[in-house]
Chain A
Amino acid sequence: MDRDSSEFSARIDELIPRLRRYARALTGERTAADDLVQDTLERAWTKLHLWRDGSDLRAWLFTIMHNVHVNHVRSRGAPTVPIDDDMADAPVRPTQSDLLEVRDIEAALQRLPLEQRAVLLLVALEHMSYQQSAETLGIPIGTVMSRLARARERLRVMFAADAGASLKVIK
């Protein structure tokens, strides 16, 4: 291993716990999350020549992880709901299944569309700035802000509905 790659290796190692945290929250499943981390690391090593020294390594790795995950989800044909960013002001209402199934923050998180979940996690878990989140996900900053707002509101409504239902039961 040459000097550059051993330095790169040490810097990547420092970021692995954060990649795992993001992967766990993104996929909601431990094994899938670690597979995602592994695929991300393997891709990062093969694309090392594309990383510009001095640029944000964390953002670069998270970008790779996000892309790998999106490709996995697409190849599985999982039902992701495409987000129409022009509909940012559409009211958010919990669906019937939201009301029935949301028990905790993790379950609620998995009910968010992937695009919204990714933004919320970069901001709330990684404490990335809007600008960093936009660069990481390759989307405009305005899109980051509208997805973030919708993600938070949707989570809030799920919990508000849940709390309301509990109150009725207690009565």
Chain B
Amino acid sequence: MNKLEITEAELHAWLDGELPEEHRSAVESFIAAHPEDAARLEAYRRNDHALAGRFDSVLEEAVPARFAGRPAPRRGRFLQYAAAAGLLVVGGFAGWHLHGVYGGARPGDAPSWARRAAVAHVVYSPEVRHPVEVAADQEAHLVAWLSKRLGAPLKVPRLDGLGFGLVGGRLLPGDQGPVAQFMYQDGQGQRLTLYVRTNREQIRETAFRYAQEGNVRQFYWIDRGLGYALTGEISKEDLLKVANTVYQHLNP
């Protein structure tokens, strides 16, 4: 048999058991007569097996719980719209109901900056790869940078005691200039964001106020001229606990 009559593709097809029956014996006699090609095919087979040997163990690994079953809508339909439609959603927040937690607040719409904070939360908290611009391992740089841009000394509250570690932060455009967003995450991947803005209005302090849309809950307040909005999809009680901790850290 002349080598020209056997193609490279046929040799691989033989290796992979894809060769039609009627061609098999011709290819096999060719291989028998050409030791170099036989050695080459043997090397291909060996490498294929080495690949299987390297990666087959993945089949035995426990499947992460997040892959099991249909992914629960991680954030309700509203949030999908938010992620997809960005600013359009701002209008959707106009219907937020609002009431003071500590009394004194009267029902009304959340201010536009708090709504912006909620939108920023739903846009960035689902991010898998780029949830923040600067990660927590560069916390000093993060704080210095955001403080400089906001023109106010910022502090990052520690929430580790409540199970929420700092992921990092980012700079965002606010209604009156730059604002900061810090992101926290617990062991289950549940994320909270703390939005901080400088407050040019004359109000120096307010009580905690609460707003909600679907599963997205938010406490916001003004303290020493800075506006804070803490947003997450945890229960109102838990969120309040976090808000109190944030407040205490900022007012030691």
Contacts and interface: CB of A to CB of B under 8 A. Distances in A.
B67 A123 contact: no
Contact of B58 (A5, A24, A159): A24
Contact of B43 (A129, A130, A159): A159
Residue from B16, B40, B51, B63 whose CB has the most chain A CB atoms within 10 Å: B51
B12 interface: yes
Contacts of A37: 67
Interface string A136-159: 000000100110110011011001
A63 interface: no
Nearest to A32: B129
Interface string B34-56: 00000010011001101110111
Contact of B70 (A5, A21, A38, A124): A5
Interface string A12-23: 010011101100
Contact of A41 (B44, B50, B71): B71
Contact of A124 (B51, B58, B129): B51
B18 A121 contact: no
Interface in B50-78: 50-52, 54-56, 58-61, 63-64, 66-71
Interface in B121-172: 128-129
Contact of B51 (A17, A105, A129): A105
Residue from A20, A34, A159 whose CB has the most chain B CB atoms within 10 Å: A20
Nearest to B49: A124
Contacts of A129: 18
A160 interface: yes
Interface in A108-137: 109, 120-121, 123-125, 129-130
B22 to A, nearest CB: 17
Contacts of B59: 17-18, 20-21
A17 B57 CA distance: 10
Chain B interface, DSSP helix/strand/loop, else mixed = helix
Contacts of B43: 156, 159-160
Contacts of B12: 145, 148-149, 152
Interface in A62-112: 104-106, 109
A156 B16 contact: no
B16 A130 contact: yes
A59 interface: no
A51 interface: no
A146 B8 CA distance: 9
Given A1-B70, A145-B12, A145-B13, A152 B51 contact: no
Given A145-B9, A155-B47, A130 B18 contact: yes
Given A105-B50, A123-B16, A145-B13, A20 B58 contact: yes
Contacts of B63: 13, 16-17, 20
Which 9 pairs of residues, A with B, have the shortest CB-CB distance? A124-B48, A21-B58, A105-B50, A152-B44, A17-B59, A145-B9, A156-B43, A25-B55, A155-B47
Given A17-B60, A149-B8, 13 more contacts: A1-B70, A9-B70, A17-B63, A38-B67, A41-B67, A42-B71, A124-B47, A125-B51, A125-B56, A145-B13, A152-B12, A152-B44, A159-B43
Interface of B: 8-9, 12-13, 16, 18, 40, 43-44, 47-48, 50-52, 54-56, 58-61, 63-64, 66-71, 128-129
Interface of A: 1, 5, 9, 13, 16-18, 20-21, 24-25, 34-35, 37-39, 41-42, 45, 104-106, 109, 120-121, 123-125, 129-130, 142, 145-146, 148-149, 152-153, 155-156, 159-160
11 contacts: A21-B59, A25-B51, A25-B55, A105-B50, A106-B54, A124-B48, A124-B51, A148-B12, A153-B40, A156-B40, A159-B47
